[in-house]
Amino acid sequence: MQKYLLTFLLFSLITGRLTAQRLVSDAKIVYKMETAGQPADPTFEGGTLTQYVKGHQSRVDIDFKALHYSYLIDSRNQTVVTLIDNHGDKYLIRAGKEDYEKELKQYASVQFTDAKETKEIAGYTCKRSVGKMPDGQTFDVYYSTDLVPENKQFNRRFVNLKGIPLQFEILNKNGTKTTMIATKVDLFAVPGSYFDTPKSGYKEISREEMSKIGN
């Protein structure tokens, strides 16, 4: 009898752990932005990042007061469409398989090492991990092992991470770091229309043309 009881308890623990871990195919995650190391630029105060995931498609919206970026990512066809709304001036930039694979290769070489620290973020217990770039730079990530992405390339930056990040740092060119902290996680079916490329309203340009506009 004790043997059967022990077997039942072990089975319960294993199945309980498997039940807690969820393979995520559809999600919407909202992050707030915090930048340390320099006085905040009013243009970028109160910024948010929203991550959408649906199967092989993903979308990232970055919103500031008068500036909006959207990235429409298709991991099956290996394409990225960037939408920019700068004070009402709207631009569309397409990146094909070559650019997609180049960026994927860059982030595929990032190594993540788990640390002991944990914290609660948006209702999930998250583990701290330290990402190391090929050039030696490091950044902190807190990820949930209970949320495992079906599409590992939903965000190529975290292709080697063992769960979905709910807090992470982005290294800025000026040496500062911007921290993204999840405030809300919704695991609902995301409408497919969220990933459609607009057919009008945007001027299609190349990356080179955009860099000239930025200067």
pLDDT digits (tens, 9 = 90+) for 91-104: 999 999 999 999 99
The model's pTM: 0.85
pLDDT of residue 11: 38
Residue 113: inside a domain:
yes
Question: What CATH number does residue 175 fall under?
Answer: 2.50.20.30
Q: What is the pLDDT along the chain (215 residues), one digit of tens a residue?
A: 444 433 433 433 333 434 467 899 999 999 999 987 654 555 556 799 999 999 999 999 999 888 999 999 999 999 999 999 998 999 999 999 999 999 999 899 999 999 999 999 999 999 999 999 988 999 999 999 999 999 999 999 999 999 999 999 998 887 788 999 999 999 999 999 999 999 999 999 998 888 877 65
Query: Are 161 and 151 spatial neighbours (Cβ–Cβ below 8 Å)?
Result: no
Residue 5: inside a domain:
no
Query: Are 140 and 118 spatial neighbours (Cβ–Cβ below 8 Å)?
Result: no
Residue 13: inside a domain:
no
Residue 182: inside a domain:
yes
DSSP 75-97: TTTTEEEEEEEETTEEEEEEE-H
The residue segments making up the domain with residue 94 are: 22-197
Query: Are 52 and 67 spatial neighbours (Cβ–Cβ below 8 Å)?
Result: no
pLDDT of residue 172: 82
CA pseudo-torsion sign 108, 113, 118, 119: negative
Residue 65: inside a domain:
yes
Residue 214: inside a domain:
no
Query: Are 140 and 163 spatial neighbours (Cβ–Cβ below 8 Å)?
Result: no
Q: Domain total for the chain?
A: 1
pLDDT of residue 37: 61
Residue 3: inside a domain:
no
pLDDT of residue 51: 97
Residue 211: inside a domain:
no
